[in-house]
Amino acid sequence: MTKWLTSTALVLTMALPALAQDYTPDPNAKAGGAITVTYKDDVATLDPAIGYDWQNWSMIKSLFDGLMDYVPGTTTLRPGLAESYDISPDGLVYTFKLRAGVKFHNGREMTAEDVKYSLDRVTDPATQSPGAGFFGAIAGFEAAGTAGLSGVEVVDAATVKITLSRPDATFLHVMALNFASVVPKEAVDAAGPDFGKMPVGTGAFKLAEWTLGLRLVFEKNADYWRAGVPYLDQVVFEVGQEPVVALLRLQNGEVDVPGDGIPPAKFQEVMGDPAQAAQVVQGGQLHTGYITLNVTQPPFDKVEVRQAVNMAVNKERITQIINGRALPANQPLPPTMPGYAKDYAGYAYDVEAAKALMAKAGLADGFETDLYVMNTDPNPRIAQAIQQDLAAIGIKANIQSLAQANVIEAGGAGTAPMIWSGGMGWIADFPDPSNFYGPILGCAGAGEGGWNWSKFCDASLDAKAVEADSMYDPAKSPDRLALWAEVYAGVMEQAPWVPVFNEERYTMKSERMGGEDALYVDPVSIPVNYDYVFVK
């Protein structure tokens, strides 16, 4: 992240001819071959404006491109379909120069009109995109509809100018989201609502076959505009496969990557066997599991009580319950996120201190409350561990284990005093600290129905967040990150959350799979970056 920011700082406001190739291809990489990836759940859709599951996220990344992209295996931005871009001195106007000769899978050349069409489409309420909100900074977003965004203009066939209504330091990340992928209008019109089943993009792969509920086949896009990639001829996705079955098939050599990871029951067996453990790549994940404490509901309106809860939860034990596949957390940001405060100590596990705080709040005898949790394993188990920890300081938390939709409803409506976020937790949409604030800790999400389940709203922290996000000048990036660290420290002081753990990723691959480890724990393409891995 920092590396890219310093390198572009020099050329800011100056059209870039072409960024140096920032990724060194693997010298051992071989072209050809096919791999098999498995998933339990069927793939919902491959429409980049709609898809928002963790399994279709990386698939869409391989079928489509946006103006911006990430260096494989990292959180570093690099230009995608834009060859270069230029930011006006006030940070409000972004001018993207498009790459020449990029073709859609249908053979037509991609132009600036397609970029505008795609952004208009994703923000049009008729599209019902779950990602529309990310584009809120573009001028004319409020009036978005069939008429399109007034802030997106086609200058010529190879130039797009995007005007913002406020400076937004994360805007280039937004342009790298799947939601900002460029799609051809004629294909969308032809497929109508079924575009998600017949996707046409500019990506490294194209969809060759999709048998609902059984399998999908991605085929190499021979005309891909990035030279040399992808290496693989085919990626076969088999759906409806139990994680346990997928793992056994991997051991049999029938599967190359089990998309749902290593199932809990098999985890110790795999990690205990050196030969199998060698096929596992471990890495961080931009994820935090947390408990929200509803600050509008007594007694959680008292900061002492919230701090006491923070001290009462034994995070070490909770990570033990999930076989140590996570690291205890002490702040909202995960360690792999820029802006993570390494030196921040957080609230240590201390039952006596927690009791003292409860007494200070006048609740030495404790109280009774509800803990909401999604009803799929391991979440009810984690909730029970939390429940036992809270009992130690006199809090009787009744578990409400419900379907995902019911928990989200209770959280949004503000009726749930406590929610364990597992299963619905926050995995960052893009690698920037702001992504953990706005909708889940800021005032914007605290209204009726919002995802800020704590209903925490601190005007001074919100102001700081806005200030940080208006520091669009990459030269000020370190200051910006420092400001974000301050925001999160401020949040933790008031303790609307109990950050519990950051999940670690364990990707298992077959022996024949090649490519550096980083590609298998790519922070953006989960589980693997299909464009760059290869078969040995």
Partner 1 sequence: MAAYFLRRLIQSALILLGVSFITYVLLFVLPADPVRQIAGRAATAQTVENIRQQLGLDQPFLVQYGRYLANLVQGDLGRSYLQKTEVGDLITSRLPATLLLMLAGIAAELVLGLTMGIAAALMRGRFGDQVLMMTSFVTVSAPQFVVSLLMLYIFAVKLGWFPIGGYGTAAHLVLPAVTLGILGSGWYSRMMRSSMIEVLRADYIRTARAKGLGRARVVLRHALPNAVLPIIAMIGIDIGIFMGGIVVVESVFGWPGIGQLAWQAIQRVDIPIIMGVTLVSALAIVVGNLLADLIAPFIDPRIRLR
Partner 2 sequence: MADIMADTARAPQTVLRRLVLRRLAVFGFVLIMIVVSGAVFAPWIAPYAPEEQLFDGLTLEGAPLPPDARFIMGTDLLGRDLFSRILYGAQTSLVIGIVANSLALLIGTLVGITAGFFRGWIGATLMRFTDLMMAFPALLLAICLAAIFKPSLWIVALVIALVNWVQTARVIYTETTSLATRDFIAAERTLGASTGRILFRHILPHLVPTIIVWGTLGISTTVLLEATLSFLGVGVQPPTPSWGNIIFENQTYFQAAPWLVFIPGAAIILLALAFNLVGDALRDVLDPTQRGRD
Q: Which does 478 bind (CB under 5 to 8 A by kind): partner 2, partner 1, none?
A: none
| Nearest distance, CB of residue 368 and partner 2, angstroms | 14
| Nearest distance, CB of residue 451 and partner 1, angstroms | 4
Residue whose CB is less far from partner 1, 83 or 238: 238
Q: Which does 245 bind (CB under 5 to 8 A by kind): partner 2, partner 1, none?
A: partner 1
Residue whose CB is less far from partner 2, 375 or 494: 375
- Residue 139 carries which DSSP code? T
Token pair listed for 147: 């008429």
Q: Is 375 in the site for partner 2 (CB under 8 A)?
A: yes
Q: Of the candidates 142, 133, 145, which has an alpha carbon nearest to the alpha carbon of residue 449?
A: 133
Q: Which does 265 bind (CB under 5 to 8 A by kind): partner 2, partner 1, none?
A: partner 2
Q: Is 15 in the site for partner 2 (CB under 8 A)?
A: no
Q: Of the candidates 32, 38, 61, which has an alpha carbon nearest to the alpha carbon of residue 48?
A: 61
Q: Is 323 in the site for partner 2 (CB under 8 A)?
A: yes
* Distance, CA of 485 to CA of 493 (rounded, Å): 12
Q: Is 291 in the site for partner 2 (CB under 8 A)?
A: no
Residue whose CB is less far from partner 1, 72 or 131: 131
Burial class (CB in 10 A: 0-12, 13-18, 19+), 377: exposed
In the list 240, 320, 413, 511, the residue contacting partner 2 (rule: CB under 8 A) is 320
Residue whose CB is less far from partner 1, 240 or 478: 240
| Nearest distance, CB of residue 496 and partner 1, angstroms | 17
| Nearest distance, CB of residue 134 and partner 1, angstroms | 6
Q: Of the candidates 457, 322, 426, which has an alpha carbon nearest to the alpha carbon of residue 379?
A: 322
Name every residue whose Cβ is closer than 8 Å to that of residue 278 and which is 6 or more positions away in sequence.
none
* Distance, CA of 441 to CA of 233 (rounded, Å): 44
| DSSP string across 411-473 | HHHT--SEEE-TTS-EE-SSSSGGGGTHHHHSGGGSSTT-S-TT----HHHHHHHHHHHT---
Binding mask 70-109 for partner 2 (x = CB under 8 A): ----------------------------------------
| Nearest distance, CB of residue 331 and partner 2, angstroms | 24
Number of residues that bind partner 2 (CB under 8 A): 30
| Nearest distance, CB of residue 262 and partner 1, angstroms | 15
Residue whose CB is less far from partner 1, 170 or 314: 170
| Nearest distance, CB of residue 256 and partner 1, angstroms | 17
Q: Which does 23 bind (CB under 5 to 8 A by kind): partner 1, partner 2, none?
A: none
Q: Which does 322 bind (CB under 5 to 8 A by kind): partner 1, partner 2, none?
A: partner 2
Phi, psi of 236 (to 5 degrees): -105, 125
* Distance, CA of 451 to CA of 466 (rounded, Å): 19
* Distance, CA of 492 to CA of 127 (rounded, Å): 37
| DSSP string across 156-206 | ETTEEEEEBSS--TTHHHHTTSGGG----HHHHHHHGGGGGGS---SSSEE
SS3 373: strand
DSSP H or E run through 370: strand 367-374
Q: Is 40 in the site for partner 2 (CB under 8 A)?
A: no
Report 462-501 residues binding partner 2 (CB under 8 A): none
Residue whose CB is less far from partner 2, 133 or 324: 324
Binding mask 238-257 for partner 2 (x = CB under 8 A): ------x-------------
Residue whose CB is less far from partner 2, 34 or 244: 244
* Distance, CA of 358 to CA of 354 (rounded, Å): 6
Residues in a beta bridge with 235? 35, 218
Q: Helix/strand/coil (H, E, C) string of 100-119?
A: CCCECCCCCECCHHHHHHHH
In the list 268, 413, 512, 536, the residue contacting partner 2 (rule: CB under 8 A) is 268
Phi, psi of 95 (to 5 degrees): -115, 120
Q: With CB under 8 A as the contact rule, which of the stretches 127-135, 393-401, 448-456, 485-493 interacts with partner 2?
A: 393-401
Binding mask 331-370 for partner 2 (x = CB under 8 A): ----------------------------------------
Q: Of the candidates 115, 95, 136, 99, which has an alpha carbon nearest to the alpha carbon of residue 12?
A: 95
Q: With CB under 8 A as the contact rule, which of the stretches 68-76, 149-157, 374-382, 487-495 interacts with partner 2?
A: 374-382
Describe the chain by its helix, strand, coil percentages, rounded to 5: 35, 20, 45
**Lookup result for tokens 């597992």:** 422
| Nearest distance, CB of residue 128 and partner 1, angstroms | 5
Chain residues that interact with partner 1, rule: CB under 8 A = 40-42, 44-45, 47, 50, 52, 125-126, 128-134, 136, 142, 193-194, 196-197, 211-214, 239-242, 244-245, 248, 376, 403-406, 408-410, 412, 429, 438-440, 444-445, 447-449, 451
| DSSP string across 293-312 | E-TTSTTTTSHHHHHHHHHH
- Where b means 16+ CB within 10 Å and e means fewer, 338-363 reads bbbbeeeebbebeeebbbbbbeebeb
In the list 16, 34, 359, 402, the residue contacting partner 2 (rule: CB under 8 A) is 402
Q: Is 384 in the site for partner 2 (CB under 8 A)?
A: yes
In the list 264, 366, 423, 490, the residue contacting partner 2 (rule: CB under 8 A) is 264
* Distance, CA of 223 to CA of 3 (rounded, Å): 31
Binding stretches for partner 2 (CB under 8 A)? 244, 263-266, 268-269, 320-324, 375-378, 380-381, 383-385, 387-388, 398-403, 406
